[in-house]
Amino acid sequence: MATKSKSVKSKADGAAAPRRTYPDLHDHLKALDKAGLLVTVDRPIDKDTEMHPLVRWQFRGGIAERDRKAFLFTNVIDAKGRKYDIPVVVGALAASREIYRIGMGCALDRINETWTRAAAKPIAPRIVAKAPCQEIVIRGRELDRPGNGLDAIPVPISTPGWDNAPYTTLSQYITRDPDTGIQNMGNYRGQVKSPRRLGMNPSLELRPGIYIHWEKAKARGKKLPAVVVLGAPPCVTFTSVQKLPENVDELHVAGGLVGSPINVVKAKSVDLLVPAEAEIVIEGYIDTEWLEPEAPFGESHGHVNLQEYNGFMDVTCITRRKNAILTSIISQVTPSESSLIKRIAMEPMFLDHLRKNLGIQGVKRVSMHEPLTNLRKLLVLIMERGVPATETWRALYGAAALHRAAGKFVIAVNEDIDPDNADALFWAMCYRANADLDLQVLRHRDQGHGPRSKRNGGQDASVLIDATLKEDFPPISLPKRPYMERAKAIWEELGLPELKPEAPWFGYSLGHWPEEFERAAQLAVKGRYFETGKAIAKRRRKDVRMNTEIRNVEPKKS
């Protein structure tokens, strides 16, 4: 049975929780429940075959983004019929923009400002002695008892039929730079390999901090201490999926995001600080001598990631809250929760780079194409009309250069083009771009995130297209807005099916629309078009050919 009103506990049992001014995961779920955005499923759900396919339908079943919800599963079993005492929540961070906004605690139009402030003014965390995430501690030989190690955690299988194991998906790996002592937190998948062994894949094309730490530890001949956080306050999770400079501690930026220190506590078996309000924390050491096969796994680029050699972590301790909730994220073919949680913050990051770092004020917005392509491959720059061509090309080059795995296709358009409408993009490319003048190919690019082709020695290229207006064009040949709005009112009055207007849904000028044409059009809608017929009869000529544009002909001498 699925319900929308089941209560969610907001405070852990046991020792008094440290003071805080930000919501933890339990507070966040209560807020989603109150907003009607949480579906609680009490019937048994198999984490290995049913859970992710069920939630997947709201991304592949024609459901509008605004109608997507978070799903809390309270009765979790596995393929063998085993029952788990830890609920699982899927879609709770970014199934929709509204869910993300509630987690951020600000309006959607303030998200850019909030992220910019957080990055500019990070706040160091507050170290506490006792924490909810350590209410239950299992370490050492206790982990070897059946049901005490990773086998106690109901990690779902994301892509049943393809994945070779359950994988943690919303899992924050925390490590420390052996040279600087600065911690790094990033979100990577983790293959459950045994009750005390967790695989990892840090996506090297993104140059994650954990890989740099791993290389340094390897050079020292030491294993790399690490913790994996499964479930945390939304501010921590949101920060973990962003690409921040390698010398920045994401927990400091999380503090900047909420305007106050994040509570942290020292891990039990490794020298690292973890979010005090985390749900589950896995501690251990990543081997730096040996690598072992990892995957296949359905990845966020929409294809199955084939088997690779990757690192693994030997687990030394697992701590958790008494009322822990495991978070899992829908990834794979986009749109997904994985793509939306990145998109909402990455688009402002690209815009800030172009406007502030490069000083290109004519860029109004950056849109990362989400469906199927997964954000990084196709970037759309919305440019102000009339910006010099040199500035448009600086923006195209700048967007392609910011992120080594982003920008296979970068297209510049004007503000009347909806970047989320592929038809509109093709329209702009077909009528506003000349392939001989407005297209550039940048060679020697990294293939980035996705299936790795062996063609061209593994190198790829970027295509930059200036599809902005370079000259005045005639209006869009749709009725002007007042007439379309009047017709819409009549449509609704007649009880016809609900309309979902797609841009462009009314006509507007693109610069070339002389006053005489406007006068004639106004006469037409007033039924006075014969007056126009009399006027044009006076302009007859016999010295021109058929289809000669009048604007290209000299006025007839009287």
Instruction: Tell me the pLDDT tens digit for each residue of 463-507.
Output: 999 999 999 988 988 899 999 999 999 999 999 899 989 889 999
Q: How distant is the alpha carbon of residue 420 from its chain centre?
A: 14
Q: Give the model's pLDDT for residue 11.
A: 38
- In angstroms, the Cα distances linking 525 to 135, 481, 508 are 75, 14, 16
pLDDT band at 342 (very low <50, low <70, confident <90, very high): confident
Please state the rounded mean pLDDT for residues 215-244: 95
Nearest to residue 465, comparing CAs of 418, 416, 429, 423? 429
Please state the rounded mean pLDDT for residues 59-77: 93
Threshold 0.95, pTM exceeds: no
Least confident of 288-297, 387-396, 542-551: 542-551
pLDDT band at 17 (very low <50, low <70, confident <90, very high): low
Q: State the Cα–Cα distance between residues 276 and 262, nearest whole angstrom.
A: 8
Q: Give the model's pLDDT for residue 98.
A: 96
Q: Is the pLDDT of residue 4 over 60?
A: no
Q: Are 234 and 23 in contact (CB under 8 A)?
A: yes
Q: Is the pLDDT of residue 15 over 50?
A: no
Selection from 110-114, 138-142, 342-346 with the highest mean pLDDT: 138-142
Q: What is the pLDDT of residues 421-453, one digit of tens each?
A: 999 999 999 999 999 999 999 998 877 766 777
Least confident of 115-124, 199-208, 262-271, 370-379: 199-208
Express as a percent the part of the chain with pLDDT over 90: 70
Name the more confident of 556 and 507.
Answer: 507
Q: Are 71 and 91 in contact (CB under 8 A)?
A: yes
Please state the rounded mean pLDDT for residues 233-251: 90
Q: Is the pLDDT of residue 8 over 80?
A: no
Q: Give the model's pLDDT for residue 341.
A: 84
Q: State the Cα–Cα distance between residues 113 and 93, nearest whole angstrom.
A: 19
Q: Give the model's pLDDT for residue 376.
A: 85
Q: Give the model's pLDDT for residue 403.
A: 81
Name the more confident of 469 and 295.
Answer: 469
Name the more confident of 456 and 84.
Answer: 84
pLDDT band at 558 (very low <50, low <70, confident <90, very high): low
Least confident of 9-23, 27-41, 466-480: 9-23
Q: Is the pLDDT of residue 207 over 80?
A: no
Q: Give the model's pLDDT for residue 422.
A: 92
Q: What is the pLDDT of residues 347-392, one digit of tens each?
A: 988 998 999 999 999 999 999 998 888 888 999 999 999 999 999 9
Q: Give the model's pLDDT for residue 183.
A: 96
Q: Are 326 and 230 in contact (CB under 8 A)?
A: yes
Q: Are 250 and 114 in contact (CB under 8 A)?
A: no
Half-sphere exposure at residue 212, Cβ-oriented, CA atoms within 13 angstroms = 20
Q: Which residues contact 185 (CB under 8 A, 6 or more apart)?
A: 172, 173, 174, 229, 236, 239, 240, 249, 250, 251
Domains and CATH numbers, the chain: 2-328 (2.30.110.10), 358-466 (3.40.1670.10)
Name the more confident of 203 and 25.
Answer: 25
Q: State the Cα–Cα distance between residues 28 and 323, nearest whole angstrom.
A: 15
Q: Give the model's pLDDT for residue 87.
A: 98
Q: Is the pLDDT of residue 414 over 80?
A: yes
Q: Is 50 left (phi over 0), alpha (psi -120 to 50) or beta?
A: alpha
Please state the rounded mean pLDDT for residues 164-182: 95
Q: Give the model's pLDDT for residue 134.
A: 98
Buried b (16+ CB within 10 A) or exposed e, 267-300: bbbbebbbbbbbbbbbbbbbbbeeeeebbbbbbb
Please state the rounded mean pLDDT for residues 523-528: 92
pLDDT band at 9 (very low <50, low <70, confident <90, very high): very low
Amino acid (one-letter) located at 328: S
Express as a percent the part of the chain with pLDDT over 70: 95
Nearest to residue 142, comparing CAs of 270, 267, 319, 321? 319
Please state the rounded mean pLDDT for residues 123-150: 96
Q: Give the model's pLDDT for residue 206.
A: 56
> What sections of 259-408 are H helices per DSSP?
337-352, 389-402
